[in-house]
Amino acid sequence: MNLEHLVAVYGSLKRGHFNHDLLNGAEFVGEDWLFEFTLYDLGPFPAVKRHPSEGVLVEIYRVTNQQLHRLDQLEGFDSEAPHKSFYLRVEVESSYGPVWVYEYNREVEPERLIGTGNWDLT
């Protein structure tokens, strides 16, 4: 069982945002751009959908199993019934190796697209 995971965050979990406290104790690994996702503004938080884009800016953290479980709860991910989850936890390649990303599991309106790929600039 893997005791550490790399997680890529793009919204309210990033430094300076309201859910960043959930990453207390996690190791900041670095920033990266993920090109297999498109970023959308859902109002109080963003979402990504798997669709190629100019890139989504993410922060990557090394987290424990316990921290990953807390992130799953925040994102509404249920490994027992992923099709019912609010977000899916999917693994993709980054410059730092495989990372978990929370992908929105609902439809999004195309006009909500964040073309910069950076939620901080919205």
Q: List, by residue number, the catalytic residues.
A: 75
Backbone angles phi, psi at 25, to 5 degrees: 90, -15
- Provide DSSP, 11-49: STTSTTSTTGGGGTTPEEEEEEEESSEEEEE-SSSEEEE
Specify the DSSP class assigned to residue 66: H
- In a 13 Å sphere around the CA of 10, the CA atoms on its Cβ side amount to 30
d(CA 33, CA 95): 8
